[in-house]
C-alpha cells in the first residue's frame, strides 16, 4: 500500500492543504484529516510577497526546507497512526471483525468524484508542477487475517516416473516369544483365560447384578463362575446347533452338555440381564460414543490381544457381524456374504490371529472421519516391533508416508483417481496387449505403483516389492480351450499371499458360532468377540505347539472349543441338583430320575433291524409288573422280556 502526497511548486502564492481526494486513505471510509492529529501549517512560501516584496533566495530556501521537514514529520505521524494497534479506530474495527468473523483487507480510496468543480478548474488553470513521494507501508502488518494451521500445511507432491524400482531390505526382526516355555503345559481353558480374564468376568457379573436391581428391583445374584458357565454353554451350542435355544432342554432334542449345567429359565434370565457398565454413572461426553455400553469389555479385550507378539505380515480389512435388526450402526454392504450387519475394522496376521479391531460408528462420528486411518493410528501407537508388512486398504499417500517413517512396509490396492501426477497405461491398451501386460511408475520416495491386467486391470502400490521377479500363473483360455501361463509380477504374488488374514478369521468365526436373538443390538457384537477370543486362543496354541513340539499334530478347532466349553462349565464348579438350596448347610437331595424317551410308533412297528442282544439286566419296557430282562433291542434301545412265560419282545414290536 502506498501513500501519494503531492507537493506544490514554488509558483503557488496561496497557502493550501492537499485535498482528501488526493490522498489514498489507509482506513476504509475514514479520512486522515479526522484522525485526531493536529493539521500542519502547509503554507506555501513564495519569493514574491505583496507585503514585503522580494524575499532573498537564502531565506526562501530555508523556509522551503522547514516546510518539507514539517511535511515529513506529519507523514511519519500518519504512518504511526496506521501501524499503531492501540488506537481507538483500529480497536473498534477489530471488534467488528471478531463479531462478524470475516477477513478484513484495507483497500485504497478512490478519488472523490463529488469534489468541487470550481476547485478543479482552479487547479487546472494554474500551472502547477507536481512532484510526489511514495511511502511504503507493509501490508502484512495491516491485513488482519485468520489462518488455520491445517490450511497452511502443504501436502507433499509426488512425481511418478517410469524408472527402475530399488527394493529395500525388509528383514523382519521378530519379538522375543516371552512365556512360550511357560505355556508348554497349558490347557485350552488356560489359553482362553489369557484373553478373557477373571477380572473381566468379575466386573461383568457385578454390573449384571447392578443392572438387575435397576431393572427389576432385585439382584439376580450371579457370579463370575456362573458367567463362565454361560460362555461354556454358548460354545457347546455352537458345536451342536439347533433351531432355537429351548431345543437344548426339550426331551427329544436335549443336549446333556447344556441342559445338565443350568436350567433353561436361569440361562434365559441371565441372557436378558448381562451388562457391562452402569447406565447412571456414565457422563454425557462418554455417551457420545455409540458403543459406551460395551466399551469396557471391548477396551480390555483389545488390550489383551495387543499383548501378543505380532507376526511379520498383517492384513487390514473389514469384518462383518451379521445383524438384521434395528440399530443406527447397521450398514448394508452388497458385496459381502452377510450384507446386513455391523462393520468392524480388523488387523489380523497371516494365521488369522486378530491383533487389533475397532467397531465402525459411521462417518459422522468425530473419531471416524476416516476409519482406516483411525485404526492405523491405534495400530502404530501400540507397535512394539521394528519392521513389518501390511496389506489391504492403503488408499491415501499420507498413510503411506507415515507407515514408511515408522519402518513399516506396505502393499495394497489403490484407486488411481486418488493419485495425482501419475499417468498409467489405459485399460483398453492393456486389453489389446492381452493377459499379463504390466505398467508401473516409481516416485521420489521409492514407492511403486503397478497396473497388471488379468481379466481386468488391477492397481497395486508397495514400498518393498516391485515387478521383479516375474513369475507365471495358470489361467484358462476360452478361445483355445486349454490352460495357459500368464506372466505375473512379484507384487501380485505377494499381495495374494498375505492379504487373507482377516478373511481366514471370518471363515473360522462362522464355523461354530451360535446366533442368539436379542433386542439389545450390542449383544451381537459381544458374542462375536467371545468367538474371536476362542479363535485367538486356538491360534496361540498352534503357535506354541509349532515351536515346542513341531512334529505333533495340532488339535482341530472344534475339539479345542469343546474342551474350552467343558472346562468353563465344570472346572471349579459344584454340580447343582434341582432348585437352589435355601440353606448352604443342608444336604443336597438325590437327583430325580428323568422319564425315558418313548420310541415313536413308526419306529417300533417298522419291522426292520430289531435284533435282540444280551445286555445288562434292566426293567422291561413293556411289562406292567416288576419284571427284569437281559434281552435288549438294538434299534429301540429298550429291555424286553423274552422267555417261556412272556414274550414282550414280540408284543412290543407287533403291528396292531
Same domain? 559 vs 620: no
The pTM of the full predicted model, rounded to 2 decimals, is: 0.65
* Model pLDDT, residue 37: 44
Same domain? 202 vs 276: yes
* Model pLDDT, residue 168: 79
* Model pLDDT, residue 531: 95
Among left, alpha and beta (phi > 0; psi -120 to 50; other), residue 392 is: left
The alpha carbons of the chain give a radius of gyration, in whole angstroms, of 44
Same domain? 375 vs 515: yes
* Model pLDDT, residue 522: 93
Residue 78 inside a domain? The answer is: yes
Domain assignment of residue 109, given as a range? 2-142
| The 3-state secondary structure of 332-362, one letter per residue | ECCCCCCCEEEEEEEEEECCCCEEEEEECCC
Residue 364 inside a domain? The answer is: yes
- Under DSSP, is residue 190 helix (H, G, I), strand (E, B) or coil? helix
Residue 384 inside a domain? The answer is: yes
Closest CA to 278 of 214, 329, 227, 197: 214
Looking at residue 33, the DSSP 8-state letter turns out to be G
- Under DSSP, is residue 169 helix (H, G, I), strand (E, B) or coil? coil
* Model pLDDT, residue 175: 64
Residue 219 inside a domain? The answer is: yes
Same domain? 277 vs 342: yes
Same domain? 350 vs 216: yes
* Model pLDDT, residue 428: 86
Q: Are the C-beta atoms of 320 and 341 separated by less than 8 Å?
A: yes
User: For the chain, how many residues are written?
Assistant: 656
SS3 content of the chain, % helix, strand, coil (to 5): 35, 15, 50
* Model pLDDT, residue 178: 62
Same domain? 549 vs 636: no
Residue 451 inside a domain? The answer is: no
Per-block mean pLDDT, blocks of 10 residues, the chain (656 long): 39 44 43 42 45 67 84 75 48 42 39 41 39 38 40 62 80 66 83 93 95 93 93 94 93 90 94 93 90 93 91 87 91 89 90 91 57 43 42 59 77 80 84 87 85 88 85 88 90 87 92 92 94 95 88 91 90 58 44 53 81 91 88 90 91 82
Same domain? 318 vs 239: yes
* Model pLDDT, residue 60: 78
Residue 542 inside a domain? The answer is: yes
Same domain? 123 vs 193: no
Residue 167 inside a domain? The answer is: no
Residue 579: Cβ within 10 Å count? 9
Amino acid at each position: 500500500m502506498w501513500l501519494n502526497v503531492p507537493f506544490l511548486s514554488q509558483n503557488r502564492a496561496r497557502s493550501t492543504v492537499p485535498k482528501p481526494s488526493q490522498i489514498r486513505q489507509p482506513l476504509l471510509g475514514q479520512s486522515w484529516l479526522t484522525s485526531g492529529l493536529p493539521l500542519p501549517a502547509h503554507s506555501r512560501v513564495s519569493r514574491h510577497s505583496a507585503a514585503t516584496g522580494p524575499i532573498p533566495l537564502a531565506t526562501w530556501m530555508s523556509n522551503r526546507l522547514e516546510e518539507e521537514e514539517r511535511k515529513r514529520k506529519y507523514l511519519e505521524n500518519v504512518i504511526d497512526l496506521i501501524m499503531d494497534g492501540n488506537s481507538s479506530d483500529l480497536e473498534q474495527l477489530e471488534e467488528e471483525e471478531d463479531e462478524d468473523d470475516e477477513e478484513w483487507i484495507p483497500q485504497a480510496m478512490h478519488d472523490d468524484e463529488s469534489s468541487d468543480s470550481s476547485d478543479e478548474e482552479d487547479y487546472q488553470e494554474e500551472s502547477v508542477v507536481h512532484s510526489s513521494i511514495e511511502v511504503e507501508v507493509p501490508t502484512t502488518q495491516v491485513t488482519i487475517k485468520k489462518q488455520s494451521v491445517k490450511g497452511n500445511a502443504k501436502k507433499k507432491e509426488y512425481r511418478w516416473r517410469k524408472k527402475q524400482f530399488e527394493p529395500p531390505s525388509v528383514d523382519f526382526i521378530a519379538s522375543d516369544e516371552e512365556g512360550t516355555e511357560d505355556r508348554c503345559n497349558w490347557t485350552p481353558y488356560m489359553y482362553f483365560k489369557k484373553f478373557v480374564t477373571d477380572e473381566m468376568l468379575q466386573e461383568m457379573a457385578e454390573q449384571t447384578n447392578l443392572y438387575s436391581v435397576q431393572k427389576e428391583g432385585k439382584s439376580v445374584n450371579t457370579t463370575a463362575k456362573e458367567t463362565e458357565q454361560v460362555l461354556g454353554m454358548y460354545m457347546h451350542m455352537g458345536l451342536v446347533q439347533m433351531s432355537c435355544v429351548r431345543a437344548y432342554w426339550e426331551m427329544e432334542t436335549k443336549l446333556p452338555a447344556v441342559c445338565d449345567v443350568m436350567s433353561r429359565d436361569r440361562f434365559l434370565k441371565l441372557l436378558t440381564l448381562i451388562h457391562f457398565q452402569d447406565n447412571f454413572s456414565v457422563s454425557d461426553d462418554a455417551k457420545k460414543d455409540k458403543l459406551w455400553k460395551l466399551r469396557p469389555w471391548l477396551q480390555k479385550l483389545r488390550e489383551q490381544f495387543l499383548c501378543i507378539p505380532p507376526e511379520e505380515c498383517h492384513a487390514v480389512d473389514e469384518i462383518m457381524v451379521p445383524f438384521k435388526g434395528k440399530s443406527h450402526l447397521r450398514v448394508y454392504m452388497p458385496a459381502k456374504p452377510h450384507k446386513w450387519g455391523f462393520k468392524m475394522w480388523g488387523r489380523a496376521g497371516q494365521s488369522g490371529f486378530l491383533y487389533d479391531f475397532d467397531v465402525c460408528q459411521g462417518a459422522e462420528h468425530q473419531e471416524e472421519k476416516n476409519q482406516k486411518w483411525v485404526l492405523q493410528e491405534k495400530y502404530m501407537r501400540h507397535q512394539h516391533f521394528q519392521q513389518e508388512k501390511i496389506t489391504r486398504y492403503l488408499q491415501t499417500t499420507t498413510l503411506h508416508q507415515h507407515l514408511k517413517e515408522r519402518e513399516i512396509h506396505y502393499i495394497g490396492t489403490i484407486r488411481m483417481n486418488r493419485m495425482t501426477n501419475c499417468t498409467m497405461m489405459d485399460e483398453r491398451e492393456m486389453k489389446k496387449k492381452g493377459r499379463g501386460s504390466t505398467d508401473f511408475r516409481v516416485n521420489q520416495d521409492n514407492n511403486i505403483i503397478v497396473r497388471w491386467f488379468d481379466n481386468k486391470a488391477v492397481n497395486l502400490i508397495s514400498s518393498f516389492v516391485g515387478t521383479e521377479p516375474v513369475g507365471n500363473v495358470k489361467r484358462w483360455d476360452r478361445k483355445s480351450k486349454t490352460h495357459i501361463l500368464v506372466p505375473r509380477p512379484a507384487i501380485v504374488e505377494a499381495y495374494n499371499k498375505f492379504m487373507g488374514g482377516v478373511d481366514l478369521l471370518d471363515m473360522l468365526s462362522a464355523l461354530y458360532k451360535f446366533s442368539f436373538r436379542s433386542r439389545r443390538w450390542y449383544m451381537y457384537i459381544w458374542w462375536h468377540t467371545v468367538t474371536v477370543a476362542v479363535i485367538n486362543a486356538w491360534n496361540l496354541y498352534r503357535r506354541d505347539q509349532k515351536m515346542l513340539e513341531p512334529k505333533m499334530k495340532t488339535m482341530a478347532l472344534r475339539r479345542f472349543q469343546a474342551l474350552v466349553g467343558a472346562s468353563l462349565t465344570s472346572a471349579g464348579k459344584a454340580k447343582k441338583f434341582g432348585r437352589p438350596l435355601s440353606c448352604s448347610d443342608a444336604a443336597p437331595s438325590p437327583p430325580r430320575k428323568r422319564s425315558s424317551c418313548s420310541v415313536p410308533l413308526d419306529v417300533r412297528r417298522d419291522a426292520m433291524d430289531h435284533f435282540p442282544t444280551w445286555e445288562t439286566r434292566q426293567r422291561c419296557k413293556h411289562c406292567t409288573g416288576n419284571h427284569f430282562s437281559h434281552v435288549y433291542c438294538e434299534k429301540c434301545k429298550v429291555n424286553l422280556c423274552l422267555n417261556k412265560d412272556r414274550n414282550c419282545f414280540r408284543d412290543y414290536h407287533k403291528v396292531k
